[in-house]
Amino acid sequence: MNIIAALHSPRVFRPLFKDLSSWHAWDVYLRALFGLGVEDEKDRTLFRACTGLDEVPARPARESFVICGRRSGKSYMSAVIASYLAGFKDWRPYLSPGEKGWIFVIATDKAQAGIIKAYISGIFQRVKCLQVFSLRTPGEARRSSFDSSGWLIRGF
Question: At a CB cut-off of 8 Å and minimum separation 6, what does 73 contact?
Answer: 23, 26
Concatenated DSSP letters for 35-78?
A: T----SHHHHHHHHHHH--SS--SS--S-------TTSSHHHHH
pTM, full prediction? 0.84
pLDDT band at 93 (very low <50, low <70, confident <90, very high): very high
In whole numbers, what is the pLDDT of the chain averaged over residues? Answer: 86
pLDDT band at 7 (very low <50, low <70, confident <90, very high): very high
Cα gap 81→120, rounded to integer Å: 9
pLDDT band at 154 (very low <50, low <70, confident <90, very high): low
pLDDT digits (tens, 9 = 90+) for 97-150: 988 888 888 888 889 888 999 999 999 999 999 988 766 655 554 434 444 444
Query: Of 135, 16, 151, which Cα lies nearest the Cα of 77?
Result: 16
Cα gap 136→121, rounded to integer Å: 10
Question: At a CB cut-off of 8 Å and minimum separation 6, what does 143 contact?
Answer: 136
pLDDT higher than 70, residue 2: yes
pLDDT digits (tens, 9 = 90+) for 57-78: 999 999 998 899 989 999 999 9
Cα gap 46→48, rounded to integer Å: 5
Q: Is 121 helix (H, G, I), strand (E, B) or coil?
A: helix
> ∠ CA 45-116-5 to the nearest 5 degrees?
45
Q: Is 114 helix (H, G, I), strand (E, B) or coil?
A: helix
Residue 142 has what pLDDT? 42
Region 19-47 average pLDDT:
96
Residue 56 has what pLDDT? 93
pLDDT band at 81 (very low <50, low <70, confident <90, very high): very high
